[in-house]
Amino acid sequence: MTKLGIVADDVTGGTTVGALLARKGAVSTLYYEFEHLDEVADPAADTVIVSTNSRTQPAREAFDRVRQTTFALRRLGVSQFSKRIDTTLRGGIGPEVEGMLNALEDNYIAVVVPAMPQSKKVVVGGYSLIDSTLLAQTGVAQDVRTPVRESYLPKLLQEQFSEKVGYIPLETVMGGEHEIASMMRRMLADGTRVFVFDSATLEQIDDISCAVIRVGRPVVAVDPGPFTVSLALLSGTIVPGAQIAREIRENHRWDDEGTVFVVAGSATEVTKSQMKVLTAEPGTKTLLARPLSLISHDSREVKAEMARLVAETQAMYRKHVEQPRVLVLAVDIAITGAPPATREELESASGLEAAEASNLLTRRLGQAARLVADVVTPKRCSGFYLSGGDTMVKVCQALGGDGLKLVDYVIPQVDQSVLVGGPYDGIPVVCKGGLTGKPNTAVQAVNRLFDEHRMMANGLAA
């Protein structure tokens, strides 16, 4: 029976918490079709993670998706619930948490612990700090779809919740579990149902978990992952197991076999820097997808672009041609550094509003990735490296799988899994959001996939 159920607002968020669990030896599977959870989820799994793909949805839609998914998790027998949130607090946190609470008994409380210290994301004095910079002073304030322009979290969250939000400061957290529990009880007596905590270390997050257990109320854990993992371990909901030791390397090995297929749909400066380093590596070949052709309202242009990408791939796998060690399929601007298409260009090419055109581009890139992957073939594919949260979802769906089994991470928020279901079942995957990592991250991820492929071939990994 499933014990721990986690609802994420996007797939990369789900893989992040799943990878943290995997680091403790706890196996979890992420499903990205929340509407079909009853059909695909394994009821014998200890942990199930579901993406509702709701970060950019209107409040009512986000509420309904999380509520529906929580009911499905209850049918699986889940006893501990978690609402995974973005480390930069994007999306409708209030509506989603209240959607989960609405599907549970009235005595449930929500405990919000937004810190992820291992990624240099902490909360002090109520303020969210990202690598020592106030949240609203980072790039997230300019996010096109879900900008965050408030760093003081009690204010940010109270504006999103209909329930009363209480704040527990670092001074109390540093006092330990007894002091935290005492303050929680006083606030509960005053009608507080949602608690937001300061924290700057994993040890402080453990103290919050111990205090929550001491208070004794059923809880929805609201966090990027560390608090969920801490609470699940300390409460005995999950039992830690053995974990395979994996290295991080940047150099080639003589026994790297097959092709790692990279799909980069993100064109952030972070992704561009990573692709620049990766494409300079020996044995890397590149396919440049033309965004305006992929979203064209002329179906002949779309088919021609798909056919071009397939033909270029087929040429790489002809006899007497050395096959690519790494094959990169990317939107052209992620490689060339050219400026992105303007809103007017997107709308003119597609006949759609810019937001719809952007979604269409991601879907078409996923379709192109499947066509290219079928040329590479499952036999020759050593793994998939997917950059960009939306890209990852569309590629995984196009590959025909039901979900991802989390096994580890390369670095925090660059997560390692294997595909579950479909013709590419069992092939390793590393995925990350477009804003995550350093210039050498893609090289490290590709090498991890070669290592995992080798370990699986030798029966040393799942």
Instruction: Please indicate, yes or no, if residue 222 is contained in any of the structural domains.
Output: yes
Same domain, 139 and 31: yes
Instruction: Please indicate, yes or no, if residue 346 is contained in any of the structural domains.
Output: yes
SS3 86: coil
Cβ 115 vs Cβ 226: under 8 Å: yes
* CATH code assigned at 174: 3.40.50.10840
Pick the closest to residue 110 from 100, 121, 123 (CA basis).
100
Instruction: Please indicate, yes or no, if residue 146 is contained in any of the structural domains.
Output: yes
- d(CA 84, CA 13) in angstroms, rounded, equals 7
Q: How many CB atoms lie within 10 A of CB 241?
A: 11
Q: Please report the pLDDT score of residue 461 as a whole number.
A: 79
* Range 244-260 burial, b when 16+ CB lie within 10 A, else e: eebeeeeeeeeebebbb
pLDDT tens digit at each of 462 positions of the chain: 789 999 999 998 999 999 999 999 998 999 988 888 988 888 888 899 999 999 999 999 999 999 999 999 999 999 999 999 999 999 999 999 999 999 999 999 999 999 999 999 999 999 999 999 999 999 889 887 889 999 999 999 999 999 999 999 999 999 999 999 999 999 999 999 999 999 999 999 999 999 999 999 999 999 999 999 999 999 999 998 888 889 999 999 999 999 999 999 887 888 999 999 999 999 999 999 999 999 999 999 999 999 999 999 999 999 878 999 999 999 988 898 888 888 899 999 999 998 899 889 999 999 999 999 999 999 999 999 999 888 998 999 999 988 999 999 999 889 999 999 999 999 999 999 887 899 999 999 999 999 999 999 998 876
Same domain, 345 and 216: no
Same domain, 219 and 337: no
Which of 199, 219, 234 lies at the terminal end of a domain, its last residue? 234
Same domain, 215 and 350: no
SS3 115: coil
The helix (run of H) or strand (run of E) holding residue 418 is strand 414-420
Same domain, 198 and 337: no
Q: Please report the pLDDT score of residue 462 as a whole number.
A: 66
Same domain, 204 and 267: no
172-180, long-range: CB < 8 A, 24+ apart: 173/197, 173/198, 173/199, 173/204, 173/207, 173/208, 174/204, 176/207, 177/207, 177/208, 177/210, 177/211, 177/214, 178/211, 178/214, 180/207, 180/208, 180/211
Q: Please report the pLDDT score of residue 262 as a whole number.
A: 98
* CATH code assigned at 271: 3.40.980.20
End-to-end Cα distance, the chain: 21
Same domain, 222 and 290: no
Instruction: Please indicate, yes or no, if residue 253 is contained in any of the structural domains.
Output: no
- d(CA 266, CA 272) in angstroms, rounded, equals 8
Same domain, 193 and 329: no
Which of 234, 269, 287 lies at the terminal end of a domain, its last residue? 234
Instruction: Please indicate, yes or no, if residue 446 is contained in any of the structural domains.
Output: yes
Instruction: Please indicate, yes or no, if residue 246 is contained in any of the structural domains.
Output: no
How long, in residues, is the chain? 462
Same domain, 280 and 193: no
Cβ 217 vs Cβ 107: under 8 Å: yes
Q: Please report the pLDDT score of residue 434 as a whole number.
A: 81
* The total number of structural domains that make up the chain: 2
Q: How many CB atoms lie within 10 A of CB 104?
A: 18
Task: Order across the sheet with 127-130: list the strands.
Answer: 121-124, 127-130, 133-134
Same domain, 311 and 433: yes
The helix (run of H) or strand (run of E) holding residue 337 is none
List all residues 6 or more positions away from 310 whose beta carbon is below 8 Å from its beta carbon: 371, 372, 375
Which of 200, 234, 268 lies at the terminal end of a domain, its last residue? 234
Instruction: Please indicate, yes or no, if residue 247 is contained in any of the structural domains.
Output: no
Structural domain range at position 159:
4-234
Same domain, 269 and 174: no
Same domain, 278 and 378: yes
Instruction: Please indicate, yes or no, if residue 168 is contained in any of the structural domains.
Output: yes
